[in-house]
Amino acid sequence: MKLYKMFINGKWVESLSGKTFAVINPATEEKLGSVPLADKTDVDEAVKAAYDAFPSWSSVSQTERSESVARLGVIMRKYEKELAELETTEHGSPQSNAVFMANWSAELVEHAAQISRSLMGHVIPAMTDTVTYLKKDPVGVCALITPWNAPIMMIAAKLAPALAMGNTCVVKPPSINSIIGVKFAEMVDEAGFPPGVVNFVTGPGSAIGNALASHPDVDLVGFTGSTETGKSIMSAASGSIKKLVMELGGKNPFIVFRDAELEAAVDNAVHSLFHNSGMSCAAPGRYYVHEDMYDAFTEKFVSKTEELVMGDPRNPKTDIGPLSSAEHRDRVEGYIKSGLEEGARLLTGGSRPVDAPFDKGFWVPPAVFADVTHEMKIAREEIFGPVACIIRFSSEDDALRMANDSRLGLCASVWTKDINRGIHFVNKVRAGTVWVNEHMKLCADTTWGGIKESGLGKESGIWGIEEFTTLKLVVISTPFPE
């Protein structure tokens, strides 16, 4: 079994304790390798390296920094196939989704390199006899704590803009995808960033994440993950009042009106939920379907769900891969049990398979619940797995009330041929992103981020770049000479 190393201050190192942990293939439970089990002492080394590198890196011209990030994008394109294979073996993504993620990750890096060169300050014509302006400075040392559901893409989305704007970084990849993190560090090393500008530490979030969030020399924490973990990070970061950029949980409403294009709505509804086995913060968490459309929508949804192929993620025909870990599989199965106990009707899936090849790995067949009520646990909490919750509504006011009745506010979609109704819901639904007749359509130019308990700040687009800067007011007195 291969032993991997961490990347700190431009060097490949073991943990100071010498401890390691295994990374597991979620489809087969095969051990893929072992990585260093870092602790607070390793975090201190990585943060010190980033802290020492910051003055020099932040003084490099914007052109040079952007070119360095662009070079990383070129290297990612070279390794796209290997990155996709790692996402398949280490995360369990079906091949088609893994290839998409590898491609999109490189696109995000390329976009950050391009757009960072056009980020401008602002002149303020506010006072006589002065030149007054705002300039955007790097924040400092950034701790980037990334999730396991989209391991390549989330490192790229955070690291590229942070580096382009002159910050130095300590990246903590998800424990169960640590080999992907090591591969990313290899690409950073190949790109030739100066020592200490980018550092990677591997280990559990409970120890490493908390050590980074509470470290006095970390200036910004970028985090994607659960709302509960986000609250813990906020608490740890409060001791030194760090800047936080956080994308947290989602329980996203997918609202289907009686005049919606049924086939398009169902196709999108099934794909948006199941493309990554439900392990996506943007996936529809609850389907609100008008009572006149409910039976037809549900019947077609079940039919298309049952056409999905669950199996070896390396097979191009596979639609559904395993969940990422045994712990997460058990959590999702707990929600399925809760739905049954509360009276929802399970129409398909949900039972753990026992026959080969599914006797190894962490499998949950796609489950579809009908007759779900808005008050049920499965309708209110983020499941983060292949479980559909279909809820009936009778009026627009009813749909809007239920859509907004959540502590989360990441995204939502509305399906209707009436553009006036669509715009009305865009204005009234409380979410960071609202689509009309679409769900999960994004690109590198668009921004992403939620409201309420779904997060703070934005990622991607020009707005995501700006999160890794701080505004400095400059006032230069220019009195006329006597």
pLDDT in tens, 37-75: 999 999 999 999 999 999 999 999 999 999 999 999 999
Residues 210 and 260 in one domain: no
What pLDDT, in 10s, does the model give residues 418-427?
999 999 999 9
Write phi, then psi, for 76 (nearest 5 degrees): -65, -40
pLDDT of residue 482 exceeding 80: no
pLDDT band at 335; cut points 50, 70, 90? very high
Mean pLDDT in the chain? 96
Residues 397 and 296 in one domain: yes
Residue 443 lies in a domain: no
Residues 335 and 241 in one domain: no
Residue 99 lies in a domain: yes
Residues 70 and 187 in one domain: yes
Instruction: Report the interhelical angle of 262-274 vs 294-307 (nearest 10°).
Output: 50
Residue 7: name the closest of 139, 166, 136, 190 by CA: 190
Q: Look at 113-127, 130-144, 364-378 and tell me which has the smallest mean pLDDT.
A: 113-127
pLDDT of residue 24 exceeding 90: yes
CATH classification of the domain holding 87 = 3.40.605.10
Q: What is the pLDDT of residue 480?
A: 67
Residue 481 lies in a domain: no
Helix (H) or strand (E) holding 11: strand 11-13
Residues 151 and 15 in one domain: yes
CATH classification of the domain holding 324 = 3.40.309.10
* Number of domains present in the structure of the chain: 2
Residues 359 and 331 in one domain: yes
281 is catalytic: yes
Whole-number Å distance between alpha carbons of 208 and 47: 12
Residues 258 and 115 in one domain: no
142 is catalytic: no
Q: Is residue 251 within 8 Å of 284, Cβ to Cβ? A: no
Residues 321 and 180 in one domain: no
Residues 6 or more apart whose CB falls under 8 angstroms from that of 300 comprise 262, 263, 266
Residue 350: name the closest of 362, 332, 325 by CA: 332
What pLDDT, in 10s, does the model give residues 200-209?
999 998 889 9
Residues 241 and 269 in one domain: no
Residues 264 and 197 in one domain: no
Residues 228 and 271 in one domain: no
pTM of this structure: 0.95
pLDDT of residue 413 exceeding 90: yes
Q: How far apart, in Å, do the first and last CA atoms of the chain sit?
A: 79
Domain span at residue 94?
6-248+454-473
Task: Give the three-class secondary structure for 311.
Answer: coil
Residues 364 and 335 in one domain: yes
Given 142, 169, 281, 411, the catalytic residue: 281
Whole-number Å distance between alpha carbons of 437 and 363: 31
What pLDDT, in 10s, does the model give residues 95-104?
999 999 999 9
Better-predicted residue by pLDDT, 480 or 455: 455
Residue 88 lies in a domain: yes
What pLDDT, in 10s, does the model give residues 279-312?
999 999 999 999 999 999 999 999 999 999 999 9
Could you tell me the sign of the dihedral formed by the alpha carbons of 273, 276, 279, 280, in that order? negative
Given 87, 90, 110, 247, the catalytic residue: 247
Residue 379 lies in a domain: yes
